[in-house]
């Protein structure tokens, strides 16, 4: 493909990349062999033909649809969200948006889908374990300027590779640092350390010139402490709907892309950026309620996975019942503290009979992927139970009974 740049930051396309793959979240995933964008525009991808295939769900990208046989000049303004189709034939609907595009079925029409991306963000990932590495990989592949902040063996591996490396061989180039640069005006610092590690990095976060600092980890504590530490005007919260781990520095990851439990964040702007990068994200205004609900939900599963990993076998039925009772107690505690059970799917789950929860935990402990997550050890589940016990010591007996 060749480009001719216009003075206004647009460009002229002169050829097509033929792509038979499924169109998905972000341009770097549309075609094999991405084309480098001209210097006047941050990122550009094309794919053709389009026959009832999924299109990008990005709300922050600019999308222009035209018929494959009639390529013509396109001029887009970087950073502007555009969702429309140019009508080239009578059977092409006017004002076609991305949602409608998914249901288009017209054998007579071949589409070229042009996705032009907004200006890249400057993002630091503090804590590039499995979760942080997944965000780093997706955001870097989406064209953002990503720096990972690591230490120890992880830092050494990243300095050697200068990239996030996935098990399937895919790579995403990132910058690597051993400490967060306080003078850099990051658009986002994404904090994916464990809750037990956050106090050690709070001084660096407070001193940072970052515009937004998003805490993304399991916790049961009130969020006001973290919000006050970095400033309420730039604090944000979220949680990753991602299953991920590292083997010798190589990433294996599974991103939840559908269903009621997508990645939630408190900031709508960053929800759009993450979704555009291939991590479907929803806005959740009550992240404290969400995180406390999630702790009640996930702690029994964490303990089951750790035990199953250590034994290389599933948990017993009596263990599953004890963990189910702990789950019930956790949900009761959330309500007693005055927090809402969110999202709505968790309201339903919290009302499931104890024996049904036990059956689910028993079955989960026999899943190889769930068992693999137990390699992280019992530290996180222990920390969450301690947090629960600290706020209500008289209402956590079942949780303390299963504490690792």
Residue among 220, 219, 217 at smallest CA distance from 333: 220
Mean pLDDT over 86-100 rounds to: 34
pLDDT, tens digit, 9 for 90 and up, residues 134-185:
999 999 999 999 999 999 999 999 999 999 999 999 999 999 999 999 999 9
Confidence grade of residue 225 (pLDDT, cut at 50, 70, 90): very high
pLDDT, tens digit, 9 for 90 and up, residues 15-64:
222 222 223 333 332 322 233 333 323 333 333 332 222 333 333 333 33
CA distance 209 to 232: 14
Question: What share of the chain in percent tops pLDDT 90?
Answer: 68
Give the mean pLDDT of the chain. Answer: 78
Backbone φ and ψ of 35, nearest 5°: -100, 130
Q: What tokens were used for 122?
A: 């400057």
Residue 207: pLDDT over 50: yes
Question: Bigger pLDDT: 5 or 208?
Answer: 208
DSSP state for residue 69 in the 8-state scheme:
T
Mean pLDDT over 337-355 rounds to: 96
Backbone φ and ψ of 263, nearest 5°: -60, 125
H/E segment holding residue 281: strand 281-283
Helix (H, G, I), strand (E, B) or coil at 300: helix
Backbone φ and ψ of 283, nearest 5°: -90, 130
pLDDT, tens digit, 9 for 90 and up, residues 227-273:
999 999 999 999 999 999 999 999 999 999 998 899 999 999 999 99
Q: Is the dihedral of CA 200, 203, 204, 205 positive or negative?
A: positive
Contact 317, 362 (CB under 8 A): yes
Q: What pLDDT is attached to residue 369?
A: 87
Q: What tokens were used for 51?
A: 């026959």
The owner of tokens 């730039």 is 234
H/E segment holding residue 163: strand 163-165
The owner of tokens 């037990």 is 196
Contact 90, 125 (CB under 8 A): no
Mean pLDDT over 283-311 rounds to: 97
Q: What pLDDT is attached to residue 30?
A: 31
From the candidate CATH numbers 3.40.50.720, 3.40.190.150, 3.40.1280.10, 3.30.1330.60, the one assigned to the domain spanning 122-284: 3.40.50.720
**Whole-prediction pTM value?**
0.72
The owner of tokens 């019992």 is 378
Q: Is the dihedral of CA 36, 40, 42, 45 positive or negative?
A: negative
């Amino acid at each position: 493909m060749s480009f001719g740049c216009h003075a206004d930051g647009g460009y002229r396309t002169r050829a097509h990349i033929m792509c038979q793959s499924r169109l998905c979240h972000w341009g770097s995933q549309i075609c094999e062999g991405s084309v480098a964008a001209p210097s006047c525009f941050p990122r550009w991808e094309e794919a053709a033909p389009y026959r009832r295939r999924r299109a990008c769900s990005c709300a922050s990208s600019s999308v222009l649809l035209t018929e494959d046989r009639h390529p013509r000049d396109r001029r887009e303004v970087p950073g502007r969200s555009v969702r429309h189709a140019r009508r080239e034939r009578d059977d092409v609907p006017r004002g076609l948006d991305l949602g409608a595009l998914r249901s288009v079925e017209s054998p007579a029409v071949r589409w070229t889908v042009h996705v032009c991306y907004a200006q890249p963000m400057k993002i630091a990932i503090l804590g590039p374990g499995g979760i942080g590495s997944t965000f780093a990989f997706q955001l870097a592949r989406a064209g953002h300027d990503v720096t990972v902040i690591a230490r120890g063996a992880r830092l050494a591996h990243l300095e050697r590779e200068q990239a996030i490396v996935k098990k399937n061989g895919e790579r995403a180039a990132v910058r690597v640092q051993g400490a967060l640069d306080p003078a850099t005006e990051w658009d986002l610092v994404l904090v994916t350390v464990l809750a037990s590690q956050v106090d050690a990095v709070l001084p660096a976060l407070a001193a940072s010139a970052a515009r937004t600092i998003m805490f993304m980890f399991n916790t049961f504590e009130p969020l006001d402490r973290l919000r006050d530490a970095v400033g309420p005007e730039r604090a944000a919260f979220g949680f990753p709907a991602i299953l991920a781990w590292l083997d010798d520095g190589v990433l294996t990851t599974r991103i939840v892309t559908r269903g009621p439990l997508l990645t939630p964040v408190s900031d709508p702007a960053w929800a759009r950026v993450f979704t555009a990068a291939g991590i479907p994200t929803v806005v959740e205004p009550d992240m404290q309620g969400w995180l406390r609900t999630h702790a009640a939900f996930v702690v029994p599963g964490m303990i089951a996975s750790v035990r199953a990993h250590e034994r290389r076998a599933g948990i017993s039925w009596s263990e599953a019942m004890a963990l189910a009772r702990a789950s019930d107690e956790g949900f009761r505690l959330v309500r007693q503290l005055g927090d809402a059970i969110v999202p709505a799917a968790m309201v339903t789950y919290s009302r499931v009979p104890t024996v049904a929860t036990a059956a689910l935990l028993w079955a989960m402990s026999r899943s190889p992927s769930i068992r693999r997550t137990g390699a992280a050890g019992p530290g996180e589940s222990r920390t969450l139970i301690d947090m629960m016990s600290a706020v209500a010591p008289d209402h956590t007996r079942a949780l303390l009974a299963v504490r690792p």
